[in-house]
Chains A and B, each alone.
Chain A
Amino acid sequence: MTTVQKAPATRRARVGGMSRFQTVLRGVVLALGAVVFLFPFYYMVVGALQTKPDPTLAGAFPNPSNLSFDNFVNVNERIDLVSGLVNSGIFTGGVLLCTVVFGVLVGYALAMLEWRGRKATFALVLLVQVIPFQLLQIPLYVLIARDYGLADTHLGMILPFAINSTAVIIFRQYFLQLPKELFEAARIDGAGELRLLWSVALPLVRPALVTAVLLTFIGPWNEFLWPFLITKDASLQPLAVSLANYISTVAASTDNPFGAILAGAVVLAAPVVVLFIVFQRYFVSNELGSGVKG
């Protein structure tokens, strides 16, 4: 996808031949932007490794003798990082599983099948995207924590996020691009829809699966408000919640509170950042754009 995207850009750059000054200016603006976006991440890692905090400018380029993993040990004594990661993993994994299974099914039905209610269902998928989750905060809390008794359970955490509607739109968009004749032919040969979906359609939309999984992953992994409301039991809290509780309550009683907080932040941020760097070519504008625009 990246190569496809590069082509028009190169062509456009040649149109009208930019002046040297403009090219330099553009480079400076973009590079400055990159520094502004990346510096806090660099500083997060530096701060997490500093044994003694140094908030001066010199502290951004620390002396190697002041670097250690002490902060990771300290934060791990207060919040169990491994259990936090496991809970974040279960929460995210549950959402991914439901989104891939049920999202692919509804995406396929919306793109490939003709049935009454198809248009209404697609309108619903679009509508769901603009409903602010925070309006649902109170009724969902009453229903899930109080009425269904799902407080302090992974199921209660997963339920409101179970099927990501943006992923549904991405699946639909990709299924729409598949040649219809292929499916008509297979149907005449007597193949069932589930078989068509599994052995013809799915292998052809593998990039959509990766894009949708990436996009869905960041929701539950980074979510704070909902798991914060629903889990009081520390052993069930995802890492984002236990780190936030650490920031807002107990950090002050540690020798190097910022070092310990930043060490926790590195552990929370690292999986997503690594995932997105590895799979960056699946997270490009065309796919996302089609996902959000519908």
Chain B
Amino acid sequence: MKRILGRQPLGLLFSSPYLAFVMVVFAFPIVYAVWISFHDFFFAAPGAEPARPFVGLDNYVAAFSNPAVIRSFGNVGVFLIINVPLTVVLALLLATALNKVVHARTFLRVSYYVPYVTASVAVVAVWLFLFNGNGLVNSMLGPLAPDPSWLINDKLAMPIIALYVTWKQLGFYILLYLAALQNVPKELYESAEMDGGGKVRQFFSVTVPGVRPATLLVLLISTVTGANLFTEPYLLTAGGGPNGASASPVLMMYQLGIQQGQPDVASAIGIVLVLGVLVIAFIQNRFVGERES
């Protein structure tokens, strides 16, 4: 018995609720999503078992011959190009500065993570008020205010969403970088100092390489978060407006899959989205991850 289950088989018993949870909520639904995307699938009344014929790539073709879907992928691309680099740079700069601060450290730390812990639905309300046509931002800009205004301008809607998400999530990444900074050996700073490197030089030659594992993590998490974008285009730009200029793939999945009853096409979008994220994650890991020596 012990040879099969290990020295303390009780561990398996303790883990069984979690394992059952992962099976029900993650493993089976993932397989199911793939299955749905290759079949003609529609919502049926409970108990009914309609025929769901295999349709090959039809759902994928249907999804990607829809210009709105293609546009939503382009939109999330714009989002990632703005959001991911900005997140890495700002989080690392603020964490480095915060790490050296002695006074008001707690106050600063708390004020940085307050947006992260607050519901997006609540904070979106303030941004709506700030960036509205006659909101505070435009009334401060006066004649410089963009026309049409931020959230109804097809060039500015997506960048505003990207800025919003950067601002909202930044506190979490600052915390990750703060943890990583504790692990950079301070001897490295001392020897860089000895070699006559200034603070800027030290930042690039010691801090940046020293926190590389954290940078990879920040890249991966912010990419996954960005690909999951839904609440912000749904509320901030009233359903991905103007004219789909800020629609995200997940918003399309909701609109096509649940509102319009095409879960099979929506699943196909989801699979392509995840494959896209995997490719980006692979590239990030390749260029930023630790190299085997």
Q: Which residues of chain A have a CB within 8 Å of any CB of chain B?
A: 2, 5-6, 8-13, 15-16, 18, 22, 26-27, 29-30, 33-34, 36-38, 40-41, 43-44, 47, 55-57, 59-60, 102-103, 105-106, 108-110, 113-118, 121, 124-125, 128, 130-143, 146-147, 149, 159-160, 162-163, 168, 193, 218, 221-222, 224-225, 229, 240, 243-244, 247-248, 258, 261-262, 264-266, 268-269, 272-273, 276-277, 280-281, 283-286, 288-290, 292-293
Q: In the bound complex, what is the Cα–Cα distance between A228 and B107 (angstroms)? A: 34
Q: In the bound complex, what is the Cα–Cα distance between A96 and B161 (angstroms)? A: 31
Contact A137 B126 (CB under 8 A): no
Asked if B250 is an interface residue, CB under 8 A from chain A, the answer is: yes
Contact A12 B186 (CB under 8 A): yes
Q: Which residues of chain B have a CB within 8 Å of any CB of chain A?
A: 4-12, 14-15, 17-19, 21-22, 24-26, 28-30, 32-33, 36, 43-44, 46, 93-94, 97-102, 105-115, 117-130, 132, 134-136, 139-140, 167, 170-171, 175-176, 178-180, 182, 186, 189-190, 193, 199, 213-214, 217, 220-221, 224, 227-228, 230-231, 234-235, 238-239, 250, 253-254, 257-258, 263, 266-267, 270-271, 273-274, 277
Q: List 6 A-B contacts (CB under 8 A).
A: A43-B136, A131-B26, A141-B257, A224-B231, A248-B239, A293-B179
Note all chain B residues with C-beta closer than 8 A to A47: 126, 129
Contact A13 B102 (CB under 8 A): yes
Contact A56 B238 (CB under 8 A): no
Contact B220 A130 (CB under 8 A): yes
Q: With A106-B14, A160-B25, A258-B128 as known contacts, state yes or no: A146 contacts B97, CB within 8 Å.
A: no
Contact B217 A293 (CB under 8 A): yes
Nearest-neighbour CB distance to chain A for B103, whole angstroms, equals 9
Contact A118 B102 (CB under 8 A): no
Contact B113 A118 (CB under 8 A): no
Contact B175 A289 (CB under 8 A): yes
Q: With A8-B182, A18-B199, A280-B106 as known contacts, state yes or no: A128 contacts B22, CB within 8 Å.
A: yes
Q: From the candidates A12, A113, A248, name the one contacting B10 in the complex (CB within 8 A).
A: A113
Q: In the bound complex, what is the Cα–Cα distance between A121 and B22 (angstroms)? A: 10
Q: With A115-B10, A276-B114 as known contacts, state yes or no: A163 contacts B270, CB within 8 Å.
A: no
Q: From the candidates B30, B111, B124, B253, name the one contacting A131 in the complex (CB within 8 A).
A: B30
Q: With A8-B182, A55-B136, A229-B258 as known contacts, state yes or no: A247 contacts B108, CB within 8 Å.
A: no
Contact B15 A105 (CB under 8 A): yes
Q: In the bound complex, what is the Cα–Cα distance between A277 and B127 (angstroms)? A: 23
Note all chain B residues with C-beta closer than 8 A to A139: 28-30, 32-33, 36, 267
Q: From the candidates B26, B114, B120, B228, name the one contacting A37 in the complex (CB within 8 A).
A: B114
